[in-house]
Amino acid sequence: MAYVFFGYFAGVIALTAVLVVALRNPVYSALSLLVMFFHVAGLYVTLRAEFLFAVQLMVYAGAILIFYLFAVMFLTEKTPDRYHIQSWGSLLIGGAIIVEVVVLIGQHGISFGSSVARTAAPSPSEEGNTESIGQLLYTSYLFPFEVASLILLVAMIGAVVLSKKDLPEVPPS
Amino acid sequence: MNVPIHYYLILSAFVFLTGLVGVLVRRNIIVILLCVELMLNATNINFVAFSEYLHDLGGQIFVFFTLTVAAAEVGVGLAIVVAIHRSKDTINVEEFNLLKW
């Protein structure tokens, strides 16, 4: 069973990695990179790194890739007209997802008040993946963690400085 | 039952090489940055695989730092791309010859 999951994830990762390089259109490259990020996250689950699975989805697929797509749309000279055509199939898929979300929230809301949810809470004796990572990150790796936050601060300031337009020269009065 | 670790190493080496080839052959600077992300993800797969097989969570901690560097890279890199696009009106790396001699 483990081989089946690994084979699926590895196959899709390898295929989409090649597609990122091979596709002409940068939008398609970015979208196939998105598929690759999802499957790398799946590979993390098979390696029992559940917290990294969530982080991979949120940071890579959620933040970094949206950033890339924004830059592609912003900087590409001519966008073909077919980007502006909305197909009816997407309405169908979107409607199905909305129905699924409503159903899931409804089920959760029903079972939330029952005693089943309370007994399902993990006992403090068994540490999950997230707890042990947090424990390690704030004890042994505290200094590298602070350095990482400094890197992010420098990157933030650098991005703001680099991408802002030069202010017009103020004429001396 | 567990997948042996060299499968993960082969997968990660393949993804890394794909990213490297992409950086070398593509001419669109945004796609080059995407290929850098590809290489960073390949190293992340390696880190997590070794963390699982050596039963050491340090590998998963290191993925965080890779993630930090990737986020910083995408922020600063795209800011540079926007600045270059503003002055040269292209994103083809062949046209960026200001530092060549």
User: Within an 8 Å CB–CB cutoff, is residue B54 touching chain A?
Assistant: no
Nearest residue to B63 via CA among A137, A63, A127: A137
* Banded pLDDT at A149 (limits 50, 70, 90): very high
Q: How far apart are CA A113 and CA A105, in angstroms?
A: 13
* Banded pLDDT at B24 (limits 50, 70, 90): very high
Q: Taking residues B48-59, what's their average pLDDT?
A: 90
Predicted ipTM?
Answer: 0.90
Q: Where are the domains of chain A?
A: 1-76
Reply yes or no on whether the pLDDT at B34 is more than 80. Answer: yes
Alpha-carbon gap: B65 to the closest alpha carbon of chain A (Å)? 6
A vs B, Cβ pairs < 8 A, gives 154
Task: Return the number of other C-beta atoms located less than 10 Å from residue B28's C-beta.
Answer: 18
Q: Taking residues A14-36, what's their average pLDDT?
A: 92
Topology (CATH level 3) of domain B5-95: Helix Hairpins (1.10.287)
**What percent of chain A clears pLDDT 70, i.e. is strictly above it?**
83
The dihedrals phi and psi of A143, each to the nearest 5 degrees, come to -65, -45
pLDDT score for A79:
61
User: Within an 8 Å CB–CB cutoff, is residue B32 touching chain A?
Assistant: no
Q: Which residues of B touch A158 (CB under 8 A)?
A: 75-76, 79
Q: Where are the domains of chain B?
A: 5-95
Q: What share of chain B is helix, strand, coil (3-state, %, to 5)?
A: 80, 0, 20
Q: What residue type is assigned to position A19 of the chain?
A: L
- Comparing CB atoms, the residue among A33, A132, A151 nearest residue B34 is A33
Alpha-carbon gap: B18 to the closest alpha carbon of chain A (Å)? 6
How far from the centroid of its chain's Cα atoms is residue B12's Cα?
Answer: 12
Of residues B48 and A163, the one with the higher pLDDT is B48
Q: Which residues of A touch B69 (CB under 8 A)?
A: 151
Alpha-carbon gap: A36 to the closest alpha carbon of chain B (Å)? 9
pLDDT score for B86:
84
pLDDT score for A25:
87
Alpha-carbon gap: B58 to the closest alpha carbon of chain A (Å)? 8
pLDDT score for A106:
86
- Low-confidence winner among A32-46, A65-79, A150-164 (lowest mean pLDDT): A65-79
Reply yes or no on whether the pLDDT at B43 is more than 50. Answer: yes
Q: Which residue of A has its CA nearest to B25?
A: A21
pLDDT in tens, B70-99: 999 999 999 988 888 888 877 788 887 777
Which residue in the block uniquely carries the two structure tokens 């749309």? A73
Q: Which residues of A touch B48 (CB under 8 A)?
A: 43-44, 47, 49, 52
Please name every residue paired with B92 in a beta bridge, in sequence order, or none if there are none.
B28
Alpha-carbon gap: B64 to the closest alpha carbon of chain A (Å)? 8
pLDDT score for A111:
59
> Which of B21, B48, B54, B90 is best to mutate for the A interface (most A CBs within 10 A)?
B48
pLDDT score for A127:
65
Q: Which residue of A has its CA nearest to B39?
A: A17
pLDDT in tens, A84-113: 677 788 889 999 999 999 998 888 766 555
* Banded pLDDT at A117 (limits 50, 70, 90): very low
Q: A155–B45: do the CB atoms touch at under 8 Å?
A: no
A1-76 CATH: 1.20.120.1200
Q: Taking residues B40-53, what's their average pLDDT?
A: 93
